[in-house]
Amino acid sequence: MPVLGTLPVEARPEELTAAYRPGAFLFTSPTGVLLAEGERAVLGSPVEAAGALADGEIVVGALPFDPAAPSRLVVPEHVRRSGPLPAIARPAPRVGARWLAQHTDADAYRTGVRRALALMEAGELSKVVLARRLDLVAAEPVHVLDLVRALAARDPRGHTFAADLGDRTLLGTSPELLVRRQGRIVSSNPLAGSRPRSEDAVLDGRNATELLASAKDRREHALVVTAVADGLAPYCKQLSVPAEPELLPTRAMWHLSTQVSGVLADPDTPVLELATALHPTPAVCGSPTATARRVIGELEPFDRGFYTGVVGWSDARGDGEWVVTIRCGEVRGATLRLFAGAGLVPGSDPEAELAETGAKLRTLLGALGVEESA
């Protein structure tokens, strides 16, 4: 009956990250690195997970975008933890794949954005997040460990994750904390509103300033903050929601960010219950949620699966961390399928939104040393 909070800090963070092997579960965050190995049970839903947690188990894994679809949650055999990775980016290992092909859906994406904007003009919804895919094919199986280590080294303040999905590995570095629970304290870090980073310091600074001043991005952001605050309020006796967003940099992007924190009214509310109450926020779906979900189903020519779901861990006390499954991809043998989306509100421009998804794809493409061609 392991209780995560009481486990000693056992290893150096870099060692733990390097000890990951496909099939295991890795999760890095500002609170530490968690490596879970072996499968004592595979659970298909948060309800099943709640049963295992009530029996004193730890649960790790991923929930899909569609809350009605099967989850991939695991009760591991062993869990090791360490402190957090150093906050400074380190040289990343080279992912030595020879890439043969890239398949982009850029044209279909432009069309989808135009149709979504028309629906918004007709007053059907105020925000929808539309996503696209990029498939890469390598000459040999993708080296998952090198890719995970490169992601963690390049973005040490992000949440790098790798989760086994049975026939493939879900991996990425999410900047967006859906919810963390540490005792009575809950935290969430809704993000929405984005600009690309640039190696040119002047352009980089200009992008950040422009983002902070953008009324369109602030509207897009506010919808997510309101949804998170409304979702947490019934569970909290105190809730702090800053009135103004701040800037959050990742290796590839600038985001508008709000740090929400609260104190639980009932200290027994488990983190997974909070995560399922919040998911999906308008950072990945839209507003109103049900209409946005329907529009996504109609306009996106693929099933999101675990992309824009939730990935993380919970312990038996109810503590844990769950992040939004973005800046991610799925590796299956020699193929790598990447996902990226952008929040659309009235006034969004199809070319700018396409460019934004391209910039978001660079979280993984940068770690691979690959340029996106469209």
Rg of the Cα atoms in the chain: 19
The answer to whether 39 and 76 have CB atoms below 8 angstroms apart is yes
C-alpha torsion angle, residues 341, 314, 161, 225 (rounded to 10): 30
Quickly count: other Cβ atoms within 10 Å of residue 346's Cβ: 13
At its nearest, how many Å lie between ligand ISC and the CB of residue 321? 17
DSSP for residue 22: B
Q: How many residues bind ligand ISC (CB under 6 A)?
A: 17
Among 46, 341, 350, 366, binds ligand ISC (CB under 6 A): 341
Does the footprint of ligand ISC cover residue 330 (CB under 6 A)? no
Residue 85 or 284: the one with the smaller Cβ distance to ligand ISC is 284
Query: Is 273 or 356 the residue whose CB approaches ligand ISC more closely?
Result: 356
User: What CA–CA distance (Å, rounded) separates 178 from 244?
Assistant: 19
For residue 176, indicate whether it is catalytic: yes
Residue 326 binds to ligand ISC (criterion: CB under 6 A): yes
**Selected binder of ligand ISC within 59, 150, 283, 370 (CB under 6 A):** 283
366 binds ligand ISC (CB under 6 A): no
Q: How far apart are CA 99 and CA 263, in angstroms?
A: 49
According to DSSP, residue 166 is labeled S
Contact set for ligand ISC, span 167-196 (CB under 6 A): 176, 191-194
Subset of residues 208 to 267 that bind ligand ISC, contact rule: CB under 6 A: 255
Nearer residue to ligand ISC within complex by CB, 72 or 360: 360
Distance CA 6, CA 182 (A): 12
Residue 300, C-beta contacts closer than 8 angstroms, at least 6 positions apart:
112, 130, 131
Determine the interface stretch with ligand ISC among 7-15, 89-97, 152-160, 340-348 (rule: CB under 6 A). 340-348
Residue 278 as a binder of ligand ISC (CB under 6 A): the answer is no
Q: Quote the distance between the C-alpha of residue 34 and its chain's center.
A: 16
Dihedral sign, Cα of residue 48, residue 49, residue 53, residue 59 = positive
Does 154 interact with ligand ISC (rule: CB under 6 A)?
Answer: no
**299 near ligand ISC, rule: CB under 6 A:** no
Stretch that binds ligand ISC, among 40-48, 110-118, 244-252, 334-342 (CB under 6 A): 334-342
Query: Which residues between 90 and 129 bind ligand ISC (CB under 6 A)?
Result: 129
- Give 262 or 309: the residue with its C-beta nearer to ligand ISC: 309
Is 133 one of the binding residues for ligand ISC (CB under 6 A)? no
Helical segments of the chain, H only:
13-19, 46-54, 106-121, 144-154, 201-213, 215-232, 271-278, 289-299, 350-368
235-269 b/e with 16+ CB inside 10 Å = b?
bbeebebeeebeebebbbbbbbbbebbbebeeeeb
Residue of the chain from 327, 337, 338, 372 that contacts ligand ISC (CB under 6 A): 327
Residues that bind ligand ISC (CB under 6 A): 129, 131, 176, 191-194, 255, 283-284, 326-327, 340-343, 360
Q: Which residues are catalytic?
A: 127, 176
